[in-house]
Amino acid sequence: TNVNGNLRADFAKDLALDFSLRMDALDVDRYLPPEEDAKGQTASPGVAPGQGQQQGQGSAFPVLPGARGGVTLDRLTVSGLTLTGIKVRVHSSAGGLRLDPMSANLYQGTYNGSLKLQPGTGAPRWAISEKVTGVQIGPLLKDLTGEDRLEGTGHVSADLSGVGLTGKAVSRSMKGNAEFEFRDGALKGINLAQVLREIKARLRGQHAAETGVQQTDFSVLSASVKVGGGMVKNDDLVMKTPFLRVSGRGKANLVTEELDYRMTAKVVGSATGQGGREFAELEGIPVTVRVGGTLAEPVYTPDYEATIKAIAGKRIDEERGKLED
């Protein structure tokens, strides 16, 4: 990494630093231990189990009495992600560290945000405000997690705060709100059109042959979430396809990563997208899909029985009406 710029130090009263730095490229991942080594590390002699982690949650983060300046980074690699054109304004004092504003380009989109860190008697407190616009979520998730379970152009905003800097401390203490919207993409892991074909086949005592990939194309996928108590909760998910309207609500445990979610899909028209016209007879019938597993590996389980009962009830009502006539 090549660094150039300037630094000014004022010792007249308390130490004050003014700086402007530019770096060409920084690969943070190169400085981290291999994952298996990090998990297999044991406590150093004379250090009680968990003591090092507790110290890591303390106020030992870089705070200088009076420092301010700007850092520009052409390219940054961290956690598998690649960001370019990073600009950060640094404000540091005895009261804490503030990075505001922060901006970067990533995966054909832009990032803007701010971060505040405040030392405390125990673990430091932090607050972050972020907004991501026009990002391609598929390649981003692929680099971050190794899986691309979602595709589309995304807009994400979040205002979160918490205590502690380790992964578990962040998961347990984090609170705030976030919202997202993705357009012209696909939810991978379930093909709702195939689920509807299976329902139609079961009504005739048959099974539908699997066709197509396990994904559901959508024009819009949006939701807002509330974070707190180690949980993420949502009750207003909306997904639109040419012939389906999907709603969703549920929760996820940030500590265990377990999912407890329910999606409900309804056929709303005879459009042809992903085979819409063939499902006209199911119009208005709710199709429930339970989502379990973990955040990293969600498991989709359609409730065929409940849907078939709903269809049977609709037909009985129609026949009853004919008999009354």
The beta-strand segments (E) located in the chain are 3-10, 16-27, 66-78, 81-93, 96-106, 109-118, 125-136, 150-163, 175-188, 215-228, 231-240, 244-253, 259-267, 286-293, 298-302
**Residue type (1 letter), 252:** A
In whole angstroms, give the CA distance from residue 319 to residue 314.
9
**Ordered DSSP codes for 9-65:** EE-SSS-EEEEEEEEEEEEGGGGSPPHHHHHH--PPTT--TTHHHHHHTSS-S---T
Spatial CA neighbour of 17 closest among 90, 77, 112, 118: 90
What percentage of residues in the chain have a pLDDT greater than 70?
A: 88
What percentage of residues in the chain have a pLDDT greater than 90?
A: 54
Strand partners, 17: 9, 67
CA–CA–CA angle 300, 260, 310 (5° rounding): 60
Predicted pLDDT of residue 243:
85
Residue 48 has pLDDT above 90, yes or no: no
What's the average model confidence in pLDDT over 124-151?
93
Predicted pLDDT of residue 150:
94
For residue 318, the surrounding DSSP H or E stretch is helix 304-324
Predicted pLDDT of residue 42:
42
CA-based R_g, the chain, Å: 26
In whole angstroms, give the CA distance from residue 271 to residue 269.
6
232-236: long-range pairs with CB below 8 Å, 24+: 234/261
What's the average model confidence in pLDDT over 166-181?
93
In whole angstroms, give the CA distance from residue 176 to residue 308.
40
Mean pLDDT of the chain: 86
Cα 323 from chain centroid? Answer: 53
Spatial CA neighbour of 231 closest among 249, 254, 259, 250: 254
Q: Give the model confidence (pLDDT) of 141-155 as tens digits.
A: 999 888 889 999 999
Ramachandran bin of 186, using left for φ above 0, alpha for ψ from -120 to 50, beta for the remaining angles: beta
Residue 195 has pLDDT above 80, yes or no: yes
Predicted pLDDT of residue 283:
81
In whole angstroms, give the CA distance from residue 137 to residue 154.
6
Query: Buried b vs exposed e over 2-27: b needs ≥16 C-beta within 10 Å?
Result: eeeeeeeeeeeeeebbeeebebeebe
- At 44, the pLDDT band (50, 70, 90 cuts) reads very low
Q: Give the model confidence (pLDDT) of 198-241 as tens digits.
A: 888 887 777 887 777 889 999 999 999 999 999 999 999 999 99
Model confidence, pTM: 0.83
Question: If you ran DSSP here, which 8-state letter would residue 276 be given?
Answer: G
Question: If you ran DSSP here, which 8-state letter would residue 241 be given?
Answer: -
Residue 277 has pLDDT above 70, yes or no: no
278 is written with which tokens?
A: 């063939």
Residue 40 has pLDDT above 80, yes or no: no
Crossing angle of the two packed helices 304-324 and 192-203, in degrees rounded to 10: 50
- In order of 25, 154, 156, 297, 301, the CA distances from 225 in angstroms are 35, 15, 11, 20, 23
> Dihedral angle at the C-alpha atoms of 97, 103, 104, 108, nearest 10 degrees?
140
Range name among 22-36, 53-67, 253-267, 268-282 with the lowest pLDDT average: 53-67
